[in-house]
Amino acid sequence: MSVKPQTKDDISFDDFKSQIIKDYEVAVLSRECSLLGGREVLTGKAKFGIFGDGKELPQLAMARSFKNGDFRSGYYRDQTFMMALGLLNAKQFFHGLYATTDITKDPMSAGRQMGGHFGTHSLNEDGSWKNLTEQKNSSPDISPTAGQMPRLLGLAQASKIYRNVSGIDATNFSNNGNEVAWGTIGNASTSEGHFFETINAAGVLQVPMVISVWDDAYGISVHARHQTTKENISEILKGFQRDENNKGYEIIKVNGWDYTALIHAYENASEIARNEHVPVLIHVNELTQPQGHSTSGSHERYKSPERLDWEKQNDCNKRFKEWILENNIATEEELSAIDKEIKKEVRTAKKEAWTEFISPNKEAKKTLVVLLENVASKSPNKNFIAKIKNDLIAIEEPIKRDLASSARKTLRYLIGEDTAEKQALINWISSYIDEIQPKYSSHLYSDLPNKATNIEEVKPVYSDESETVDGRVILRDNFDYIFGNNPETLIFGEDAGAIGDVNQGLEGLQEKHGEFRVADTGIREATIIGQGIGMALRGLRPIAEIQYLDYLMYALQTLSDDLATLLYRTVGKQKAPLIIRTRGHRLEGIWHSGSQMGGFIHLLRGMYILVPRNMVKAAGFYNTLLKSDEPALVIECLNGYRLKEEKPTNLGEHCTPIGVVETVKEGTDITVLSYGSTLRIVEQVAKELLEVGIDIEVIDAQSLLPFDINHDVVKSVQKTNRLLVVDEDVPGGCSAYLLQEITEKQGAYKYLDSMPQAITANAHRPAYATDGDYFSKPNAEDIFEKIYAIMHEANPANFPKLR
């Protein structure tokens, strides 16, 4: 082992020694936080702990090569890396462990995620971008293993876009594409499909990405022989190694306890990725996990005595200390003094963090105890209230739940009483919940002035010269306007490039705007979404195309766990305004039905879900979204691309409002709500019903998340006194959601003279072909007969039984 790490710049021995000692201090600090953090969980002060012990040394090396503007996409063992960059200190570590709901104390997520999930702040208070090139950046972690990989691909691709596409204002985002995206993952998690999909996609795209695999030979309790072929991820990925004739990866293998080799490996990887835009895999071997996987169990249960002894001897911190001593960089006494000082520092940080966490609760407890004493003194149920009060007093270190629960339970013993003391308690409860609840619930969607629901409608304009064209032409020409006027926009997906998508909505646009902005991808939905998330995190405005709505299922984990939660889990400190374009509704067959709306509206809270009935509406949604900065899913009607529509003269400028329904036909007898392709069937049936004396009001939902923010549907129900929701999702799916929104949230139940009903698809997935569609999803006869039956029940004399 050489004494001096190979570094780019020549430095003096004193500077070199200072670097080594600083790294040693960070390694010890991180380890002490892990050890003391584990004890905090065991004492009950923290709920759960998962730490980075055993991975300190390679993270120090990675931090050395991490530059301003770079992005990390990692996982929950990277605390040493964050500490080495000055992005996490010991007190913040413990605040994260305790789940402190103060972003200034837990800057990673203000207690919304368990400790070990690291992110930085990309946004100013007004939602505008910070200059990301002047800071070191970390995209916010998610717990699902390998879930960070798709996003990593997009973070790296952004550098390629900034380097190769002219006209973009990259001031806050890139210095000629010189930024590297750094990924980290545990060796066992490389078994996940997201890892392999990302590896392949990055090799194809040739993006500046460095993936570190922390290999400690286990995945929780399961040994690598059950995880990876040959027990060696770099061995089985050898086929990705680039050579003279083929582009691919640079693959580096290094031991996790070898400080100088690690420094060299990471500097080499950084230079290759940064300058050549070549992805690099660093397989870091022979790492350990001194405390086991997490605080949920002990690794002594599944590791042999021999393995446990080997881990003690080869702990990277131990080997680092030995190397420092062997090379006379510091003495045993000097290192012992550092150890002692850092242990004191960590204990102090832990104590201060706990005091800051618990003190507001103790103060609130004092106030609440007085209120409980007061209401008890005036209540015939004072003995019951006294018990609640005494139980609360006995909790020396109360959490917020203890306070809220005690106060609210007390109200049960005050039913029917009317005293000033009771009102004071009620006021305290209301005030407390108003203060505390947003700490756990805010930022699901943007609350800034430019949020999508604030973008005003701009109606399409028509003239005597307006053409009647296929719907696809409207989309194509609208996208052409978007790409011509917004250089930061780009679109990519299966068949999106050369042929202009399967329905020709992008016809000719790749030739006009270039392969970087209108691009084909492989068949790999998870990383298509990942590309979009990563690029959106870095200031671009990507549109990720998923060929059919059903295929979105391949990317649902990434959408649900990563994109939809991003704003929420960063408390508004990061954003990824990704637009997902797809097509669905009425496509025939089990795997191409495009009807799984109930799943999407529940799993993608935090995104907008938009269901335009035609292409003018769809184009307007894209224009609206590009005026805001929030993620959305736009589902175009698959059977609408060849239908004729009048082409607006203000394409690219008209905006469809988000969260607003549209009444497409007024009527008096019953309100019928639908969306997408099924709405056209309802419109057809509306004409047929007029022949038997039934006049229905037809409303297009247009937007499912959010739905009808102006509560226009209930206004219709006030007039018609009846409600039917028509939906091609399965029973209990989207229609159940819409009925709850209308009858419960909007209060339409008060105006109903008939039971509100839904007509849905059958419980099974749709069968193939036109007959399969007819007997699987709502058809015109189903809708006609359902509405007629409702009117028959209300007025059997005028509407005799049909069958």
Known catalytic residues are: 592
The tokens for 688 are: 């047929």
Measured between alpha carbons, how far is 67 from 134 in angstroms, rounded to an integer?
9
The answer to whether 130 and 123 are in contact (CB under 8 A) is: yes
Per this entry, what is the length of the chain?
A: 803
**Helices and strands of the chain, counted as H and E runs:** 26, 22
Measured between alpha carbons, how far is 82 from 66 in angstroms, rounded to an integer?
11
* Helix locations, 243-315, DSSP H: 259-276, 305-313
The answer to whether 287 and 54 are in contact (CB under 8 A) is: yes
Of 768, 460, 764, 499, nearest to 620 (Cα)?
A: 460
DSSP 543-584: EEE-SSGGGGGGGHHHIIIIITTHHHHTTTS-----EEEEEE
The amino acid at residue 465 is E
Starting at the edge strand that comes first in sequence, how are the strands of the sheet with 703-705 ordered? 518-520, 489-493, 541-545, 579-584, 632-637, 608-610, 703-705
- The helix/strand/coil state of 44 is coil
**Alpha carbon of residue 55 to chain centroid:** 26
- Rg of the Cα atoms in the chain: 30
Residue 6 carries which DSSP code?
-
The answer to whether 467 and 519 are in contact (CB under 8 A) is: no
- The helix/strand/coil state of 268 is helix
Measured between alpha carbons, how far is 142 from 358 in angstroms, rounded to an integer?
27
Of 433, 407, 432, 434, nearest to 421 (Cα)?
A: 407
Of 752, 686, 676, 656, nearest to 713 (Cα)?
A: 752
How far, CA to CA in Å, does 96 sit from each of 47, 103, 116?
Answer: 11, 10, 8
Of 550, 606, 537, nearest to 578 (Cα)?
A: 537
The answer to whether 665 and 630 are in contact (CB under 8 A) is: no
Task: Tell me which H or E stretch contains 491.
Answer: strand 489-493
Task: Tell me which H or E stretch contains 71.
Answer: strand 71-73
Helix axes 615-627, 471-485, angle to 10 degrees: 20
147: Cβ contacts below 8 Å, ≥ 6 apart: 194, 557, 558, 561, 562
Phi/psi region, residue 466 (left: phi>0; alpha: psi -120 to 50; beta: rest), is beta
Task: Tell me which H or E stretch contains 737.
Answer: helix 734-739
How far, CA to CA in Å, does 271 sit from each of 159, 198, 639?
Answer: 14, 21, 50
Q: 């002047």: which residue's tokens?
A: 134
Helix axes 13-42, 316-326, angle to 10 degrees: 150
Of 632, 378, 400, nearest to 529 (Cα)?
A: 632
The answer to whether 117 and 76 are in contact (CB under 8 A) is: yes
Measured between alpha carbons, how far is 764 from 297 in angstroms, rounded to an integer?
42
Of 324, 296, 256, 252, nearest to 41 (Cα)?
A: 296
**CA distance between the termini of the chain:** 89
Residue 241 carries which DSSP code?
B
Measured between alpha carbons, how far is 404 from 415 in angstroms, rounded to an integer?
18
